[in-house]
């Protein structure tokens, strides 16, 4: 209570004082660049994924543009030590995504390397995935995929190095005859997502759909 008075939660865009369970104020939420994607129909994210791997459906919550509120929100989640941001983004996603009859069987998020996890203190996708799992009634498993190598963040690498994703991930258990919903924070080049997707696809008679917080 005292901490809330001394350090009130503020809107990421305009710094107005807002409730503890909010990211932006009622005015600035209108500036969040929601994509309005339809999960079961063609959209920009699905088109970009399909150039890299077979994809069933795809959904991006926001557009990740320079100097946008959306970008500030994702950066707070990843670099601002605000893990609870993932919960709010999951609630926004659950309100906007609609599944066809073929709902995914399992939710899997892109893993961090243990060294990166130790540096950051949390995986920015875990709370997002866990919250979404409850709201959409789809089980999740954080242990299915492991990251084999420690690498610099994609944003810190030039394009020539971003393609170096061979053997970056591997499965820790067998997956077959499953429709997997693969989750990540931002879709940029798609190389990381593609690397994980192919590990799942080549493991058995599996299908992959994609869900990201934002698409660049």
**Alpha-helical runs (H) found in the chain:** 2-6, 44-50, 69-79, 85-96, 114-120, 126-136, 159-162, 191-201
Q: What is the DSSP secondary structure assignment for residue 124, as one 8-state letter?
A: T
Whether the CB-CB separation of 193 and 211 falls below 8 Å is answered with no
Q: What is the pLDDT of residues 106-148, one digit of tens each?
A: 999 999 887 887 888 888 899 999 999 999 999 999 999 999 8
Phi-psi region of 170 (alpha: psi -120 to 50; beta: other; left: phi over 0): beta
DSSP state of 112: P
Contact 102, 56 (CB under 8 A): yes
Confidence of residue 161 (pLDDT cuts 50, 70, 90): very low
pLDDT tens digits, one per residue of 70-94: 999 998 888 877 788 999 999 999 9
Rounded distance, CA 180 to CA 102, Å? 11
From the CA atom positions of the chain, what is the Rg in Å? 17
Distance, in Å, from the CA atom of 124 to the CA atom of 112, rounded to the nearest integer, reads 9
How many Å apart are CA 139 and CA 156, to the nearest integer? 33
Give the list of residues 6+ apart from residue 73 with CB closer than 8 angstroms, or none.
12, 23, 24, 32, 62, 85, 89
| 51-56 average pLDDT score | 97
Give the Cα-Cα-Cα angle 16, 22, 26 (nearest 5 degrees): 55
Maximum mean pLDDT: which of 14-23, 117-126, 178-187: 178-187
Question: The whole model's pTM is what?
Answer: 0.88
The pair of structure tokens assigned to 70 is 């959306």
* Between 197 and 164, the higher pLDDT residue: 197
Cα separation, 64 vs 180, in Å, equals 24
96 pLDDT higher than 60: yes
| Domain-wise residue ranges, the chain | 32-62+96-215
The CATH label, of 3.30.70, 1.10.287, 3.40.50, 1.10.260, for the domain at 32-62+96-215 is: 3.40.50
């Amino acid at each position: 209570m005292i901490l809330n008075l001394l350090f009130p939660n503020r809107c990421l865009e305009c710094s107005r004082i807002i409730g503890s369970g909010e990211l932006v104020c009622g005015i600035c939420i209108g500036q969040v660049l929601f994509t309005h994607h339809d999960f079961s129909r063609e959209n920009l994210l699905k088109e970009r994924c399909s150039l890299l791997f077979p994809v069933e459906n795809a959904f991006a919550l926001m557009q990740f543009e320079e100097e946008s509120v959306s970008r500030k929100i994702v950066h707070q989640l990843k670099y601002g030590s605000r893990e609870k941001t993932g919960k709010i983004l999951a609630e926004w996603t659950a309100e906007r995504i609609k599944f066809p009859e073929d709902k995914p069987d399992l939710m899997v998020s892109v893993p961090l390397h243990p060294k990166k996890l130790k540096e950051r203190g949390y995986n920015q996708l875990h709370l997002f995935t866990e919250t979404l799992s409850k709201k959409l009634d789809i089980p999740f498993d954080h242990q299915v995929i492991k990251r084999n190598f420690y690498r610099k963040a994609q944003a810190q690498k030039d394009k020539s190095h971003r393609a170096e994703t061979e053997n970056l991930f591997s499965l820790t258990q067998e997956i077959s005859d499953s429709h997997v919903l693969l989750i990540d924070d931002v879709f940029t080049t798609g190389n990381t997502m593609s690397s994980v997707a192919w590990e799942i696809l080549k493991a058995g008679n599996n299908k992959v759909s994609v869900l990201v917080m934002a698409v660049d």
